[in-house]
Every structure is written in C-alpha cells, then in structure tokens.
Amino acid sequence: MDVVSDPKTFNPALATETTSTQILGYLFRGLTRQSPVNGKIRPDLAKDWKVSDGGRKIVFHLQKGLLWSDGAPLDARDVTFTFRHVYYNPAVATAVRSELMVDGKPFSVERRGRLTVIVKTVRPFAPLLETMGVEILPRHVLEPWIQRGNFNQAWSVREPPSHIVGTGPFVLKEYLPGQLVVLTANPHYRPPVGLEPSPGCPMPCLARLVLRIVPNDTSSLIRFMTGKTDLYGVSPQQMAILKPVQKEDAFDLMVRGPSLTESFVTFNENPRAPLPAWKIRWFRNRLFRKGIALSIDKQAMINIVLNGMGEAIPGPVPRAVKAFFNEKIRPFPLDPQKARTCFVRGGFRYVHGRLFDDQGHRVLIVLLTNTESIERIQMAQILQANLKDVGIKIRIVPLQFNMLATMVMTSYQWEMLLFGLTGVVDPHGDSSVWKSSGFLHLWNPREPKPDQPWEAEVDSLFDRGDTTLDLNARKKIYDRWQEIAHRELPLIDLVTPDQITAVRKTLGGIRPTPLGGVVPHITQVYQQGVLTPT
C-alpha cells in the first residue's frame, strides 16, 4: 500500500493528520471499535460492558491475557493512565480532548481490580461507546515522559521503532523517511471478542505490511500497475486506465457509492492571524462566503476531476450517513449573477469587472492546497477560473502536506484553503472541527470563546446532541447544525468522489463495506498462495 506523505508522529495522542493516523490505526486499539459494515459498536480491548444509571455509567470488562507488543501485560491501570494523565492532561497537545467531554467536564475513569474500568459522565452521553474507541496507551512506557513534562516530544518520528509499543495487529518494524514504513505482525496480538479469523490463518493473516511513501497519485498508480503494490485507492480519473486491463493484470475494481470524504474551501477568519485586517474582514463576511459558494462550478469538478463518478456535497454530514443526513439541504448551484449580488450587498463594488472592497483593495486571494493530490490541484484550477468570472483573482500555491498543516494550524499564515476531511458516522466526531474550542476549528482556531452567535449555537447543539439518547431527537439537533453550516458557510463544501479500490488477486479476505472500508477487519486479509484458506 502507498501513503502520500511521511507521518508527523507515532504518538496517537498527538496525531491529527491522516499521514500519521492511517499508520497508527494498525498499531493501537481502544476499548471498543466501530464496524465498517454497519457502524455498530463492537468489543475490542474490552470483551463486554454494561450501561446503567440512565446512560451515565458504563462498566467495561477487559479481555483476559492482553499483552502489549513488548510482552508486558495490559490492565485497567493503562486505561486510567491514558485518560487521566494523557487525554485530560492540559499540558498534552491532544486533539481528542474536546471529544471526551460532557458539558465541558471530563469523564470519570476509575478501575476496579485489574480488568474492570468504570466510566461515568455528568450527563448521559450518546456517543460514549464510540469515544471509548480512542487509543489506549502503555503506562509502563509513557509514564516517565509524563513525569518529565515532555510528553509532547514522546514517540516522535525519530524514535527507534522498537520503542513504539501498542496492542494492534501490527508493530512498527522500520521507518525510512521519504521512502517507506514497514509493519510486521504483532506476536502478542489478541483479536477482539467475536472477530473470527479467516480459515487456515492466524490473526493477523499477513506477516508484513509495507507502506510506501509516494508523493503523488501518478507515482502510486504506476507502482500498482507494475505489481509493486497489492491494494490501491483509485481516483475516478484513473478508472479509464485501470478498467481495460484489470483482467489481464489480475486485479479487481471495487466500486462503492459516494465516499465519506468532505472536500471544501475555507477562509482564515482568525483575528489573530498575521494577515491584513481588511482581508480578514472579507473572510468574516457571510455574504462574501456565500458569493464564493455561488461562483463554484461543482458539476465541472465532477465531470472533469472525478470523471463523472461523484456528487456535490450539500453539507458536513455525508449522504452515506443516513441516520443523520439532512435531506433538506441542497448544494449551492452555480449562479454567477447571484454571486455578484451577494458581493455588492456585502459592501464590495465592481470596477471594470474586477471586485474591490470598500477601501479600494482589489480582491486577490492566495489559495493553498496540497501537492500530493492531483485532484485537489485540478479543483483549485477550476475554482480559480470560476472566481475570475466574478472578478476575483486567485493565486494557487500547492504545498507539501505536512508544511501545509503547520501553516494552517500553527502559524496561521494562510488566506484560503482547499482541503478535505474524512467524514464520521456519528456527528460527535465532527466536534473537533465545529465546536469553537475544537482542535481542528480551522477558520478560527483556539478561540477563547465563540466570537459569533451562530458559533455559540453550534457549541450548544453539539452539547445537546451529545447528551440526548433518543435517536430522533438527536437527528433534529444535528439537522439544525447542518442548516447553520449551510447558511454561515465557514466551510464551503465541494464534491466527493465515489469510493473505488483496486485489489490484486494476490490478496484474499477483502470485500467492500458500506461505510468506506474494504475489509471487515485488517486481520482477516490473507495473501493468496502463502496463507490460503482451506
């Protein structure tokens, strides 16, 4: 398999970008896991649990005989350490802290004996079982980092691979920057309760995974077509190349519906950003953002970039998430005339077809996206042409993924961003983006408090959604959030591709799943001719 860029960390508590998390998902586990088939919560490190006190208390029972990848036993002390000293430690720069709160208060996480963990919340918390899928960390390895006060430097990409200790099906064997990540089977792995192995295989079936760091889609495609990779995420554009040769090259193309991926453009509304004040005023102007939304030809993006295999996105909940999708929300149509009206109503004016603000500044914006994605660069070029039609000049600056993430989330030196996020099954997972305190609140990060009334309402909606157990009531709450997102447009949604995966016939045990996966579990994948089911 290929990955687009180097990981930034091997510490799950500090990872925020997919270049790290897609690797760490093989190395670490939580108490629970979410089925990619139906989204239901299944056991993982915990063998079972019991909910009581109106949903405010859950007693988890850990599997017996769990071991860390270094052979040390895992018990309830690791769980309490992970929550109390890592995720709830204000000195730790973790993105998940905001998702592990109810009414701004952390969960109470206690242990009873070696194998029992008791989690309590101040109010009923609907996604509690889902959030218990957060990675559990080894106390015996990481506690010294906490005690020294330098946990934020723990398990950097310079750490020797043998120091990275987890409970996942694989362990880190080798990392060569810019080249590859090698994972090998964890000899101490114990599968979740109820997860059946493929016939004739141990778990995991695969003895080794090699993830090549390939900086662009073209290189990844060449590697797959020359037989150097067995599993490849196909872009719609590449179907014309792969489909005619799939039989002779012995691979299958698994095509599913629209993905959970949300592509969007957003603007830097941060008043603390090192930008001219007048540019920040543009970006904080709702009519300006609406004018942009009405200027974008999403159908052209679908036809040209996605080869007709995708759809426009109406809002932050993917259509595949049927339980929470708001069917009343529609994608903004292409309407340049209405866009110009929005700009004028927002205080801008046209001079010889060019757009200026009320102080005489020409509307010229620098748009960032990541170099690794040809599709995003092409979407940026279409957007550039669209906005030229309404008098706005866009300069596209592609950057390497990790540099881009640093500029957006740390230095705040950006104006407009074309990017993407992976959707979630429960809207609670979007709280890190949409709550004003969220770690990934891109357009105005690290807000001390909501600086606009609609943001305060969104915060309140997420709090209510988290503490409401009735599914129908939660649906109404999150419908309102989607309506606000559609009206205020801090993220202007674009398009999502169909999910397509190419799988060589050297691999078995793979099948598509409705929520984005291609296997029920990675441990059930086997290599044909090496470990063949009987």
Q: Are residues 220 and 348 in the same domain?
A: no
Tell me the residue length of the chain. Answer: 534
pTM of the model: 0.76
Residue 47 belongs to what domain range? 2-153
Same domain, 128 and 188: no
**Does residue 364 sit within a domain?**
yes
Say yes or no: 202 and 275 in one domain.
Answer: no
The answer to which of 69-78, 87-96, 190-199, 362-371 has the lowest mean pLDDT is 190-199
Cβ atoms of 220 and 377 closer than 8 Å:
no
Of 421, 414, 417, residue with least CA distance to 496:
421
pLDDT of residue 314: 93
Same-domain check for residues 421 and 336: yes
Residue 517 reports pLDDT greater than 60: no
Q: Is the pLDDT of residue 497 over 50?
A: yes
- Residue 439 belongs to some domain of the structure: yes
- pLDDT 10s digits, 437-483: 888 899 998 888 898 999 999 999 998 998 898 999 999 999 999 99
Contact between 409 and 16 (Cβ < 8 Å): yes
Q: Assign 272 to helix, strand or coil.
A: coil
431 domain-assigned: yes
370 strand-pairing partners: 399
Cα–Cα distance, 72 to 78 (Å, whole number): 11
489 and 512 assigned to the same domain: no
226 and 317 in a single domain? The answer is no
Give a yes or no: residue 533 inside a domain: no
**Do 226 and 175 fall within a single domain?**
yes
pLDDT value for 527: 67
**What CATH number is given to the structural domain containing 177?**
3.40.190.10
Three-class HEC string of 336-386 = HHHHHHHHHHCCCEEECCEEECCCCCECEEEEEEECCCHHHHHHHHHHHHH
Q: Retrieve residue 213's tokens.
A: 């760091």
| CA 348 – CA 178 distance, rounded (Å) | 46
pLDDT reported for residue 530: 42
Domain count, the chain: 3
When comparing pLDDT for 2 and 207, which is higher? 207
Q: Which residue has the higher pLDDT, 333 or 503?
A: 333
For 250-277, how does the pLDDT look when each residue is reduced to its tens digit (9 = 90+)?
888 888 777 888 899 999 999 999 999 9
Q: Which helix (H) or strand (E) holds 208?
A: strand 208-213
| pLDDT tens readout for residues 297-344 | 999 999 999 999 999 999 999 888 888 999 999 999 999 999 999 999
The answer on 411 and 271 residing in a single domain is yes
Q: Which of 77-86, 88-97, 294-303, 477-486 has the lowest mean pLDDT?
A: 88-97
Residue 303 domain flag: yes
Non-local CB neighbours of 411 within 8 Å, separated by 6+ positions = 274
> Are 343 and 288 a contacting pair, CB within 8 Å?
yes
Same domain, 117 and 236: no
Q: Is the pLDDT of residue 512 over 70?
A: no
35 neighbors 130 (Cβ within 8 angstroms): no
CATH code assigned at 146: 3.90.76.10
Residues 414 and 272 in one domain: yes
Q: What is the DSSP letter of 66?
A: -
Nearest 5°: CA angle at 394, between 392 and 400? 160
- Give the three-state DSSP class for 256: strand
Res 221 pLDDT > 90: no
One domain for residues 480 and 510? no
pLDDT over 90 (residue 54): no
The pLDDT value recorded for residue 502 is 87
**What is the C-alpha separation between 468 and 462, in angstroms, rounded?**
10
Q: Which residues contact 48 (CB under 8 A, 6 or more apart)?
A: 60, 61, 193
**pLDDT tens digits for range 119-174:** 999 999 999 999 999 999 999 999 999 999 999 999 999 999 999 999 999 999 99
pLDDT band at 60 (very low <50, low <70, confident <90, very high): very high
Q: How high is the mean pLDDT of the chain?
A: 90
Q: Phi first, then psi: what are they for 320, rounded to 5°?
A: -65, -20
pLDDT for 529 beyond 80:
no
Which residues, 6+ apart, have CB-to-CB distance to 102 below 8 Å? Answer: 121, 122, 123, 125, 463, 466, 467
424 and 418 Cβ atoms separated by less than 8 Å: no
Residue 210, in any domain of the structure: yes
| Whether 253 and 266 share a structural domain | no
CA distance 94 to 283: 28
Determine, yes or no, domain membership for 395. Answer: yes
* CA–CA separation, 441 and 430 (whole Å): 10
Nearest Cα neighbor of 272 from 406, 412, 405, 409 is: 412
Q: Within a domain: residue 334?
A: yes
Compute the CA torsion angle 158, 162, 168, 170 (nearest 10 deg).
100
In this structure, what CATH number is given to the domain that contains residue 439? 3.10.105.10
